[in-house]
Every structure is written in C-alpha cells, then in structure tokens.
Amino acid sequence: MGEECMQCRKWEEGMYWSNFQTLQFCQILSGRFHQQLAIPTKFTNNLRDKLTGTIALRGPSGSIWDVGLLANGDTLLLKQGWTSFVEDHSLEEKDILIFKYNGNSRFDVLIFDHENSCEREGSYFLKKCSHTKSDCNSKRKMSIEKNSEKTNNESSDDVSYHQAKKQRSIATRSTPSRRLPTRASSRGRRRTIRGRRGSSGAPHMELESRRRAVTLEEKERAQRLAVAAALEDNFIVVMRASHVYKGFFMSIPSEWLKKHHLDKSLAVELRVDEKKWVAKFHYKGYGGGLSGGWKKFVLANFLEEFDVCLFDLVSQKSDAIILDVKIFRVVQEVIPPATIYLQPNSKGNGHTTSESEDEDE
C-alpha cells in the first residue's frame, strides 16, 4: 500500500513538472528579502535548466523588472534588480508573493498584504519611474486621478500589450461622458437631431450614455480585473468616447500588430461566449484598428466609456483573424445608451437643435 502510494505520488509530480504550462511557488518575505530572495529548492531542481542568467518579473500593473539570478550552492537567488522590484512595490516583511512561471524565463507576480491577506490594490497602478519611494507613495493617487481626466487629443493607444521584454501599464485616456438632455413623451423618449456646420448628406448616429456617473474606484476595479485575467499575448483597451459613442473606431496597439505581422486590412471575427460579430481591421501604414462591424459589436454588447475589453487572439489566417473578447464593465447594470442623430444644418451657418419622437419599434 505504501509503495503504491509513493509510486502514485512520483507519477503526479512527474506529470506536474513535465506537462503543466503554468508552474507556481509562494514566498513569505522575511529576513534580508530587500537584498535577495531565494527560489524554493524543489522549484529550482525541476526547472534549473530553464532558469539561467536574467529573468523577467511582471508585476500586477503589467510593468516588467529584469532580475539577475545568482547561484549559491543548490539555491538560486533573485539578486540584481530585485531591490528595485521590492522598493517600487513598497514590499514589507511578511507580505506574501505568488510567482507564476509561464515559460521563457518570465514570472507573473501577485502581491498580498500581510495585514489582511488580500491583494495589494496599489500594485495594479504602478509603473517603474525615477521618483523616490516617498514621491511615489505621495503622488500615486494624484497620478491615477489625472490619468482619468486626460483628453481624447492624446494618442489612441490607450491599450496594454502584454509582452515580457517591455514595461506595460494601462492608462485611462478619455474625457468624462457628455450628457445631453432628453425628454419623455407619450410615445417614448425623443431623439435629438442637431445640425453640423459645413456638413452635408444623411444624418449620422451617435450614442448618449444614460448610465449613472461612475466613480474612480469603479474604473480602477475594471482595469484591475482585466489585468489580472490577461495572458502574455493579450491586449487590453479602455473604452473611450470615440470607441463607443461616436466615430466607432478602436485602435489596436502597434507592437501587437507588428508581432503578428498584421500590415494589411482584413476581416476580424469578434467572439463573446458563443456569439460572433465580423468587423474590419483597417490598416493605415503606421498602425490600425477596428471599424465597420465594430459599431455593431458596441451596440450589441452595450459597451460604454471606461468599460475595459480584453482581446485574445484565437486564430490567424492571411485574410482574417479571430479574437475572443472579455468585457469588464465599470457598472454591472446595463442601461442601453440613447441614440442621437446628427443632421446637417440646411443653412450651413451654425448648429440648430430640434427634437422628433422615436419611431415605434
């Protein structure tokens, strides 16, 4: 009986270390953890040929720290560069760290506070910088608040591409939602038709959010959940007004495009659970993004500003790709946005506003 149990245990260990793609170990910080941290001997013995030179530690924020390994007998120590990781995350004695090895000498690290055994929230909103530790602690909250107030004039790449060799962090770059007045009627809500200076042709559609105002904490939570769920080759986009209310064009990070050699326009199938939508990837020569069917995807899934989408490449062919999409909403209750039609002013000398009743659906 004992021999059989030992054989089963050896088989289980062999299967785990030889076939599992993600391998993990946990460390409780103590002693001289500021200068170095030992990798458990059992972990080292099973992966010694894969752990040489320098490894990459990716923190919860998506940023990368390169850390050198030092052999001390049979023990491998995280040494050169480890102190920067400790200081940037303000680690303390008895904090709990979980290291997830995903191959290619890269670890994803989760950080838990020793006082409450919960993840340290601030670790998700951190990036490497040249400030002192005290500066970072005092300015971190201010920095997050400023990020949420940046205008749409900034780069459209408010995305996070998870790649081991470079730092990554998510910044919310969008303006607060515009709320336009709507009036109730006996037949339902009214739509606003407004003229546009110098424009011509048929009216075009925009959306107006009817969702309640969202808090900074809700925005941070959606981003934090998306980062925690992301894998190396995923990319994350924080929805902006130009993505979901008007224009309906969503940029894809250029580094992700380069890695997958996407340098021409092609069809993109977007999947949420078992539902599918076909959009168009439009290549501009310096990058590109989703258009066309992207609007239908937005409407069908009631996407709104500050919601976060996680994109995972499932299949790639010469003329099409398939992306699985996971949506992290800032507000769980879904209230479909109101539809606004913008129509040219016939006189072309300014904006005029008129109202008409909705068609019965």
pLDDT tens digit string along 16-38?
887 777 789 999 999 889 999 99
CA 266 – CA 234 distance, rounded (Å): 19
Q: Contact 306/149 with Cβ under 8 angstroms?
A: no
Q: Which residue has the higher pLDDT, 143 or 260?
A: 260
Provide, rounded to the nearest whole percent, the portion of the chain with pLDDT above 90. 35
Reported as a single tens digit per residue, the pLDDT across 337-357 is: 998 887 765 444 444 333 333
Radius of gyration of the chain (CA): 25
Reported as a single tens digit per residue, the pLDDT across 52-74 is: 788 899 998 888 899 998 888 88
For β-strands 54-58 and 188-194, DSSP reports them as: unpaired
pLDDT at 109 over 80: yes
| pLDDT score, position 153 | 36
Place of tokens 């909705």: 358
Q: Which of 40-49, 87-96, 228-237 has the highest mean pLDDT?
A: 87-96
> Domain residues of the chain, as ranges?
2-144, 159-357
- Is residue 67 exposed (0-12), middle (13-18) or buried (19+ Cβ within 10 Å)? buried
Q: Give me the architecture of the 2-144 domain, per CATH.
A: Beta Barrel (2.40)
Q: What is the mean pLDDT of residues 190-199?
A: 40
Per the structure block, which two tokens stand in for 94? 């008895």
| pLDDT score, position 50 | 79
pLDDT at 124 over 80: yes
pLDDT at 182 over 70: no
pLDDT at 82 over 80: yes
First to last CA, the chain: 72
Rounded to 5°, angle at Cα 33 from 30 and 38:
95
| pLDDT score, position 331 | 92
Please check whether the two domains, 2-144 and 159-357, share a CATH topology: yes
The SS3 of residue 150 is: coil
Q: Contact 173/148 with Cβ under 8 angstroms?
A: no
The SS3 of residue 166 is: coil
**Range of lowest pLDDT (22-31, 158-167, 205-214, 216-225):** 158-167
pLDDT band of residue 4 (cuts 50, 70, 90) is: low
pLDDT at 151 over 70: no
Q: Contact 168/306 with Cβ under 8 angstroms?
A: no
Assigned fold of 159-357: At1g16640 B3 domain (2.40.330)
Q: Contact 158/52 with Cβ under 8 angstroms?
A: no
Reported as a single tens digit per residue, the pLDDT across 262-302 is: 888 999 999 998 899 999 999 887 788 999 899 999 999 99
CA 135 – CA 129 distance, rounded (Å): 10
pLDDT at 141 over 60: no
Q: What is the mean pLDDT of residues 126-153?
A: 43
CA 21 – CA 213 distance, rounded (Å): 42
- φ/ψ (deg, to 5) at 210: -115, 10
- Is residue 80 exposed (0-12), middle (13-18) or buried (19+ Cβ within 10 Å)? middle
Per the structure block, which two tokens stand in for 204? 């075009």
